[in-house]
Amino acid sequence: MLDVLVAGAGPVGLWLAAELRLHGVEVAVVERRAAPDGRSRAVGMQAGTLDTFATRGLAERFIERGTPVPTGHFGAATTRLDFATLGAAHPFMLALGQSVTEQLLEQHAVAVGAEVLRGQEVVSLTQGPDAVEAVVRAGGTHRTVRARWVVGCDGTRSAVRQAAGIGFPGQGTTLTGWLADVELDDPPTGPLAATGPAGSFLVAPIGDGVHRLAGLSTATMHHGTGEPLTLDEVREQARALLGRDLGIRDPHWLSRYGNATRQAARYRAGRVLVAGDAAHMFFPAGGQGMNLGIQDATNLGWKLAATLQGRAPDGLLDSYDTERRPAARAVIDNTRAQLALFAAASPEQLALRDVWSEALAEPETNRRWARRIAGFDDPLPADPAPGSHPLTGTRLAGLALDTPGAPTAHPLMHHGRPLLLDLAGTRTPCPADGLEQRTATVNTTAAAPIWRDVTAVLIRPDARIAWATTDPDPRRRAADCLTALRTLHR
């Protein structure tokens, strides 16, 4: 019997499979498509995703294939988000086609032992007390796969979610935007955004001489998603907002997309879980969809592995739902706000766009939203325990260490186990299996003020901080660390 069956070989399913294999879990991925899709729905890899890949030693593979973009956008606001303020190891968004991302992730997943089966899809499920029986269709034949757990990463129309009886409430499409992957005779020198009464227009290179054009036209935003998009419509929007048509030619992909917004009623039903687009959908503003799904998989991978292997304390797997649901809700809210700016047409709406652009010129507001869009500041699911350090529950990012061979914490996390950093240098022994322990010194010139006086920190496999302390006593630190570790591992 298989440990985990994953439905969907998009970025989320492939990354989840690799994370499960990191812990020795037997996993297979089935994918309806017989071959990878050459089109790229997502073309932006946020700094938060690069940071996650860095914790497994993989970030450079993606950076070598993409184009770093130092700024981002919030809706059609004219003030750009400055990613240099993130305090992250990779302070930029990476322009990279999803097809390349999937290629690299599949290579990684297969290399660590995951099985990827194309031309196969889950069509029904039957749950038992100890396993799930999944009927998998391959061409004209059907077979039954028994797995201890099934995870649906199979998109917004997820067959796994539907078979598990998980609702997908929300709203349907009321407005549409468009995208065009094209070649340009007169490309801009870098990413470009323009707004006006005609709507919005974004331009970004995605590699191999192709540019992603995307926008929303106030004249056509009520057209249906099935209505064909023409190059003439894209050229007209470019001329209206840029004053030139960029020499648009040779379309690789033309499409309309809607603002349908939904979230799964629950992320787990018995032995079935959902992640990525199977768990949430929203207007693709700010390049957050794929990145949110990657964080779903990172959160779920180590928890599901611990559950399978009998190492999980009570409630650990349920925390996947309670932690990732608020994260998705926050993205849903900000994409709705961004759409209001994209679709601004009335004097009142245009004034709102101007006011928000002015607000983003304030450095702290800009930094806050740069971090949110980059994926670093998901809301915490609950108030931390009384007396806990303010770092508890936050996501580790950009902690610079004065440690040979480990300038950041990333190289110390390749194993995917909880990591204890003794920052006081006086040894904080924490006698427990499955824990990586290192003595390190924070580079105080690079660290944020909140790290001052921190003597020890326990980091989860998904780079969230489980516990931090300023206690100078090593024995108390060790005891407190062990208590915190028992919430992650037994």
Query: What's the per-residue H, E or C state across 67-93?
Result: EEECEECCCCCCCCEEHHHCCCCCCCE
Domain boundary among 231, 258, 285: 258
Do residue 58 and residue 135 come from a single domain?
A: yes
Contact assessment for residue 323 and residue 299, using Cβ atoms and an 8 Å cutoff: yes
CA-closest candidate to residue 390, choices 474, 483, 478, 468: 468
Q: 15 with 158, same domain? A: yes
Q: Indicate if 91 and 106 belong to the same structural domain.
A: yes
Global pTM exceeds 0.85: yes
- Do 247 and 265 sit in the same domain of this protein? no
Range of the domain at 211: 176-258
pLDDT of residue 61: 97
**Looking at residue 85, what is its pLDDT?**
93
45 and 129 within one domain: yes
Q: Where are the alpha helices (DSSP H) in 23-124?
A: 47-54, 59-63, 98-111
User: Residue length, the chain?
Assistant: 490
- CATH of residue 102's domain is 3.50.50.60
Count of domains in the chain?
A: 3
pLDDT, tens digit only, all 490 positions of the chain:
999 999 999 999 999 999 999 999 999 999 999 988 877 788 889 999 999 999 999 999 999 999 899 999 999 898 999 999 998 999 999 999 899 999 999 999 999 999 999 999 999 999 999 999 999 999 889 999 999 999 999 999 999 999 999 999 999 999 999 999 999 999 998 778 888 888 889 898 887 889 999 989 988 999 999 999 999 999 999 999 999 999 999 999 999 999 999 999 999 999 999 999 999 999 999 889 999 999 999 999 999 999 999 999 999 999 999 999 999 999 999 999 999 998 888 889 889 999 999 999 999 999 999 999 999 988 876 666 777 899 999 998 878 898 888 899 999 999 999 999 988 877 777 877 778 888 888 887 778 888 989 999 999 999 999 999 999 998 899 899 989 999 898 7
Of 199, 233, 258, which closes a domain?
A: 258
Q: Are residues 103 and 228 located together in one domain of the fold?
A: no
Residues 254 and 195 reside in one and the same domain = yes
The C-alpha atoms of residue 126 and residue 229 are separated, in whole angstroms, by 42
Choosing from 346, 374, 402, the residue where a domain stops is 374
Determine the pLDDT at residue 382. Answer: 66
Give a yes or no: residue 379 inside a domain.
no
